[in-house]
């Protein structure tokens, strides 16, 4: 064990506290396997304390104006921005992702989530509906104590995406980040403590889903749950929430298709499709891991695509030139690698990657490495082509017609995202609308406007967040109908 691995504490009622239990969990760096922190394996006693703090902070916080709460969000954004490099370094260390990605995406988005929702909350106006002899005033009240549960792939990016609109609309929150990536949630608590946000508005409890997440979701005083994670966990969370009639937003897994037509501009399409397949080692719910290519360009596309994938720089996450880092844990790496064996059993051919990347330096020998892997020759209804792998593995499939591409894209239990690549924008729009998902990009991928609805259909989730959809989720609309003469 590393001598200097810090012990992180829960943040409850404006202060850092040890857990009621004395059981600790180890946090390892994915790139080296080194112990980098220990977190409390909190349980229902800690959850009770955090929810009680959130509940007692609620009346005063809810009574503030939108403008007053927006000022707090801006203060948090400013304080986070001062620590942007710390966020990037901690996120890269804790997740194994390349530092360039942690700087450009994780750190920047964590700050801009608070800035964006400050502006949204400030500009928020409730509707009025006139009748001949009455006016309806829609009033948006805070929903209460919100449970915010997040995964390990984009830790602070996703946590801030929930905290900002939740507290901006007057709720108080209890957060349960993934036990695998606690570092930047802890940094957020430090930053929030520095800003002097009223005690109890933001609370953070570390630990496992079983011991901390489940009692949080089930707590009687929690009224809203925003959960991002896997589909199986989402079903458990949903069942628990339903019993208490809690408001629920589920952002779950995906198996997204990238559809490449023969008329696509290859110069921009190849890097776009590579990025969609492998960003964050393929550990983004939106990743395009099944690549459908119009048959007339299939061989040519495959050659250019493989060339680009083989040239990706895999290795030391702290090197600014690294494009692909380590996977989150040994268990996850083994699960992902298991799909390579399965692909071969299913009749596929590994045409790139398939094992540990070459040339990884000795200091990373205990890390969780897997080379970017491309599989050809699988049927579109094979398990590898339809199940969420959540790693650096993509499958390639030819198609002949627009309708066939749409049918293949719709042939999974998921419905989160997708992308279409074509120089015919009418066709792009038409094909996009034919896919049963929450989001489709045409000639781009993960090109985010924070105002638009974000979420999935089928087994990819329930509800939408983003812009006014987040503000709607984190509030209760009531109508006041005033009769006049």
| Rounded least distance, CB 246 to ligand NDP, Å | 12
Stretch that binds ligand NDP, among 13-21, 165-173, 250-258, 290-298 (CB under 6 A): 250-258
285 has catalytic annotation: yes
Helix axes 155-168, 84-95, angle to 10 degrees: 130
| Rounded least distance, CB 137 to ligand NDP, Å | 34
Instruction: Work out which of 140, 152, 399, 445 binds ligand NDP, going by CB under 6 A.
Output: 152
444 has catalytic annotation: no
In this structure, the number of other CB atoms found within 10 A of the CB of residue 324 comes to 26
List the catalytic residue out of 89, 175, 179, 285: 285
| Rounded least distance, CB 159 to ligand NDP, Å | 10
DSSP string for 197-251 = PPTTSEEE--S-IIIIIHHHHH-TTEEEEEEES-HHHHHHHHHHHHHTT-EEEEE
Q: Is the dihedral of CA 384, 453, 159, 31 positive or negative?
A: positive
Q: Is residue 149 close enough to count as binding ligand NDP by CB under 6 A? A: yes
Instruction: Work out which of 144, 229, 398, 463 binds ligand NDP, going by CB under 6 A.
Output: 229
For residue 384, the cross-strand partners are none
Closest CA to 259 of 448, 42, 407: 407
Closest CA to 49 of 183, 178, 184, 221: 221
Q: Is residue 252 close enough to count as binding ligand NDP by CB under 6 A? A: yes
In this structure, the number of other CB atoms found within 10 A of the CB of residue 243 comes to 9
Instruction: Work out which of 110, 233, 280, 419 binds ligand NDP, going by CB under 6 A.
Output: 233
| Rounded least distance, CB 454 to ligand NDP, Å | 7
Question: Which residue, 376 or 465, is less far from ligand NDP as judged by CB?
Answer: 465
Distance (Å, whole) CA 442 – CA 276: 12
Stretch that binds ligand NDP, among 65-73, 98-106, 175-183, 392-400 (CB under 6 A): 175-183
Instruction: Work out which of 40, 96, 151, 288 binds ligand NDP, going by CB under 6 A.
Output: 151
Question: Which residue, 228 or 382, is less far from ligand NDP as judged by CB?
Answer: 228
Q: Is residue 43 close enough to count as binding ligand NDP by CB under 6 A? A: no
Instruction: Work out which of 176, 223, 290, 333 binds ligand NDP, going by CB under 6 A.
Output: 176
Could you give the C-alpha distances from 29 to 53, 99, 183, 336, 343, in angstroms and in order? 32, 14, 11, 18, 29
Encoding tokens for residue 116? 């964006």
Residue 401's contacts (CB-CB under 8 Å, 6 or more residues apart) are none
Q: Is residue 246 close enough to count as binding ligand NDP by CB under 6 A? A: no
| Rounded least distance, CB 118 to ligand NDP, Å | 22
Footprint of ligand NDP on residues 268-297 (CB under 6 A)?
285
Distance (Å, whole) CA 397 – CA 424: 21
Question: Which residue, 207 or 428, is less far from ligand NDP as judged by CB?
Answer: 207
Name the burial class of residue 125, with classes exposed (0-12), middle (13-18) and buried (19+) by CB atoms within 10 angstroms of its CB: exposed
How many residues line the site for ligand NDP (CB under 6 A)?
30
Footprint of ligand NDP on residues 330-389 (CB under 6 A)?
388
Instruction: Work out which of 168, 254, 317, 354 binds ligand NDP, going by CB under 6 A.
Output: 254
Residue whose C-beta lies closest to ligand NDP: 209
Closest CA to 395 of 434, 319, 460, 344: 344
Phi and psi for 23 in degrees, rounded to 5? -115, 125
Q: Are 135 and 128 in contact (CB under 8 A)?
A: yes
Q: Is residue 187 close enough to count as binding ligand NDP by CB under 6 A? A: no
List the catalytic residue out of 251, 294, 346, 388: 251
Distance (Å, whole) CA 297 – CA 266: 10
| Rounded least distance, CB 24 to ligand NDP, Å | 14
Encoding tokens for residue 292? 């459908």
Question: Which residue, 205 or 343, is less far from ligand NDP as judged by CB?
Answer: 205
Q: Is residue 228 close enough to count as binding ligand NDP by CB under 6 A? A: yes
Q: Is residue 178 close enough to count as binding ligand NDP by CB under 6 A? A: yes
Q: From residue 379 to residue 408, what is the string marking binding to ligand NDP with x (rule CB under 6 A)?
A: ---------x-x------------------
In this structure, the number of other CB atoms found within 10 A of the CB of residue 7 comes to 10
Distance (Å, whole) CA 147 – CA 205: 11
Instruction: Work out which of 14, 98, 155, 209 binds ligand NDP, going by CB under 6 A.
Output: 209
Instruction: Work out which of 142, 213, 317, 391 binds ligand NDP, going by CB under 6 A.
Output: 213
Dihedral, 454, 457, 460, 463 alpha carbons, nearest 10:
50
Q: Are 375 and 384 in contact (CB under 8 A)?
A: yes
Distance (Å, whole) CA 162 – CA 147: 10
Stretch that binds ligand NDP, among 30-38, 49-57, 252-260, 474-482 (CB under 6 A): 252-260
Distance (Å, whole) CA 205 – CA 19: 9
Q: From residue 87 to residue 126, what is the string marking binding to ligand NDP with x (rule CB under 6 A)?
A: ----------------------------------------
- Tell me which H or E stretch contains 260: strand 256-260
Distance (Å, whole) CA 306 – CA 354: 13
Question: Which residue, 293 or 440, is less far from ligand NDP as judged by CB?
Answer: 440
Sites of contact with ligand NDP (CB under 6 A): 149-153, 176-179, 208-209, 213-214, 217, 228-230, 233, 236-237, 251-254, 285, 388, 390, 416, 456, 461
Q: Which residues are catalytic?
A: 251, 285
């Amino acid at each position: 064990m590393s001598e200097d691995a810090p012990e992180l504490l829960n943040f409850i009622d404006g202060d850092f506290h040890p857990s009621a239990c004395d059981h600790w969990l180890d946090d390892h760096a994915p790139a080296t396997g080194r112990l980098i922190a220990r977190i409390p394996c909190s349980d229902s006693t800690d959850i009770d304390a955090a929810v009680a703090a959130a509940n007692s902070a609620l009346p005063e916080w809810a009574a503030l104006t939108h403008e007053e709460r927006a000022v707090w969000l801006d203060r948090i954004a400013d304080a986070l921005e001062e620590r942007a490099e710390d966020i990037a370094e901690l996120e890269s260390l804790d997740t194994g992702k390349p530092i360039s990605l942690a700087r450009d995406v994780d750190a920047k988005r964590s700050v801009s989530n608070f800035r964006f929702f400050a502006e949204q909350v400030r500009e928020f106006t409730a509707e009025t509906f006139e009748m001949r002899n009455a006016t309806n005033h829609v009033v948006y009240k805070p929903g209460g104590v919100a449970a915010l549960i997040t995964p390990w792939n984009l830790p602070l990016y996703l946590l801030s995406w929930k905290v900002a609109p939740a507290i901006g609309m007057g709720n108080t929150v209890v957060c349960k980040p993934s036990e695998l990536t606690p570092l930047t949630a802890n940094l957020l608590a430090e930053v929030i403590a520095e800003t002097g946000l009223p005690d109890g508005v933001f609370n953070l409890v570390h630990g496992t889903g079983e011991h901390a997440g489940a009692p949080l979701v089930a707590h009687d005083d929690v009224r809203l749950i925003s959960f991002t994670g896997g589909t199986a966990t989402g079903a458990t969370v949903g069942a628990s929430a339903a019993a208490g009639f809690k408001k629920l937003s589920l952002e779950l897994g995906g198996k997204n298709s990238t559809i490449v037509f023969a008329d696509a501009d290859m110069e921009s399409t190849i890097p776009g499709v590579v990025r969609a397949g492998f960003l964050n080692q393929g550990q983004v719910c939106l990743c395009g891991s099944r690549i459908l290519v119009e048959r007339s360009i299939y061989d040519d596309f495959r050659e250019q695509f493989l060339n680009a994938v083989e040239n990706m720089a895999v290795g030391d996450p702290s090197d600014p030139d690294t494009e692909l880092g380590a996977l989150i844990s040994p268990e996850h790496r083994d699960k992902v690698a298991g799909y390579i064996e399965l692909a071969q059993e299913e009749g596929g051919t590994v045409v790139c990657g398939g094992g540990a990347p070459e040339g990884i330096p000795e200091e990373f020998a205990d890390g969780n490495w897997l080379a970017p892997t491309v599989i050809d020759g699988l049927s579109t209804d094979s398990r590898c082509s339809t199940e969420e792998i959540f790693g650096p593995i993509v499958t390639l499939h030819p198609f002949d017609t627009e309708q066939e591409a749409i049918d293949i894209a719709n042939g999974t239990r998921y419905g989160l995202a997708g992308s279409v690549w074509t120089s015919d924008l009418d066709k792009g729009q038409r094909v996009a609308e034919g896919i049963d998902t929450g989001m489709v990009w045409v000639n781009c991928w993960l090109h985010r406007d924070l105002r638009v609805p974000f979420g999935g259909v089928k087994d990819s989730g329930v509800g939408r967040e983003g812009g006014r959809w987040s503000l709607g989720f984190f509030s209760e609309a009531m109508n006041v109908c005033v009769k006049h003469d």
